[in-house]
Amino acid sequence: MDSPYPSSASNPMHSVFTLPVLVAALGYFVDIYDLILFSIVRVPSLKSMGLQGPALVDQGVFLLNMQMTGMLLGGILWGILGDRKGRMKIMFGSIFLYSVANIANGMVNTVEWYAAARFIAGVGLAGELGAGVTLVSEMLHKDVRGYGTMIIATVGVMGAVAANFVAGFFSWQHAFYIGGVLGFLLLALRICVHESGMFREMKTADVSRGNFFSLFTDRRRFAKYLDSILIGIPIWFVVGILITFSPEFGKALGIQGGVSAGNAVMFCYIGLIFGGLGSGLLSQFLKSRKKAVLSFIALTIAGIAAYFCLAGASSASFYAVCAFLGLGSGYWAVFVTIAAEQFGTNLRATVATTVPNFVRGMVVPITLLFQLARHQFTIETSAIMVGTVCVAVSLLALWRLEETFHKELDYYEQCP
């Protein structure tokens, strides 16, 4: 097929450093910027609306749930549209929607309007990573696909650092405005990016596209889909439990000097930057997605063990372990790549877009299980029990999945 980008067949590495990869990476950058920015400015933004005390937590949870609901619904919506209308159209639509939502977030003055803006932002944010990984996976040679997703992950996670920096120098309103402006600037670049050749060819084929329910009607297909989700849950155990509740764990472990949740998040995301880079490079070096993910799950296990061996340690040691946990959890983009490579062109965007959002949604049952265990055990024992379940399930799912490093992606799923 004709391609407007450098030939990946003659020199695969040339295709890694092209506009589609850059645009997908910058899109994920803005995605992470917005996700982390809300966590950073939650308290000052709600205080500006007159909330105090327990209401800051209660309404913060409500707003987070609204965002998560938007992401779950948006994941399905953008995934289906990505296989029916094209990868570029959902990349354009998703960035436009969350750019508008970012600007709207800066204008809200009531919790109700704030919730509506977070819901819309969640819908928009849901399409970014899956669309980018799908497009890049289909445009790059099979031998260098890992480099493309590595760039997406590494550049994207830097959005968390940018959000922390911007929030420290600007008001919460202006921080949201900046995110919106960044998104609209990115749209100008996207106009120059062409659609995936595999999708263009599929448009002329007589094949079912974006049939979300077909993922559940075939036993083998559903098993692949479920396993693609489950391999990512240790990441959100780390972020949703160990990092989110780090002040409580710090107190239980007797960390000297106390623990700041903001610092724990910052160091975790610094680790995620290097983890994204390292997991991509390792998958290329080993020529195996599964071995790379297995290696990083092993690092995550080591990080969890170190976390609970910190009794009486200094806060600096605690933050160092948070960074190490981020490093081990840095296989996020490789995990999404595995999901995309498991399925044919007519379901690829649906899978790659819904899988990461369903993994994010797994935070809800993980936290519920954690809270349930806390009624019977200490906070440390509860976390260890839940973490053990998450890791065990992910390892079983990884073992069941096929290796996709050398897999050709130009094929279709036989859907009814």
What are the extents of the domains in the chain? 15-197, 233-330+362-403
Distance CA 410, CA 195 (A): 15
Read off the DSSP letter of residue 244.
T
Provide the residue-wise pLDDT of the chain in tens; the chain has 416 residues: 444 544 444 455 566 777 778 888 888 888 888 888 887 788 788 888 888 877 776 787 788 778 888 888 888 888 888 888 877 778 888 888 989 999 999 999 898 999 999 999 989 888 888 888 888 887 787 778 888 888 888 888 888 888 888 888 899 999 999 999 998 888 887 776 776 667 677 766 667 777 788 888 889 999 999 999 999 999 989 988 898 788 888 888 999 988 887 788 889 988 998 998 899 899 989 999 999 999 999 999 999 999 999 999 999 999 999 999 999 999 988 888 898 889 888 888 888 888 988 888 787 788 888 888 888 888 899 999 999 999 999 999 999 999 988 888 877 777 66
Write phi, then psi, for 393 (nearest 5 degrees). Answer: -65, -40
Give the CA-trace dihedral at 36, 37, 39, 41, to 10 degrees: 160
Residue 182 amino acid letter: L
Q: Which tokens belong to 357?
A: 């959002």
Taking each helix axis as running N to C, give the angle between helix 111-125 and helix 54-84, from 0 to 180 degrees, rounded to the nearest 10.
30
**Residues forming beta bridges with residue 256, ordered by sequence position:** 314
Q: What is the pLDDT of residue 157?
A: 83
Are 81 and 90 in contact by the 8 Å Cβ rule? The answer is: yes
Q: What's the sign of the alpha-carbon dihedral 231, 234, 236, 237?
A: positive
SS3 332: helix
The CATH number given to 15-197 is 1.20.1250.20
Q: What is the pLDDT of residue 8?
A: 46
* CB contact set of 165 (below 8 Å; sequence gap of 6+): none
Structure confidence by residue, pLDDT tens digits, 140-193? 877 788 888 888 888 888 888 888 888 888 999 999 999 999 988 888 877 767
Residue 18 amino acid letter: T
Distance CA 97, CA 52 (A): 31
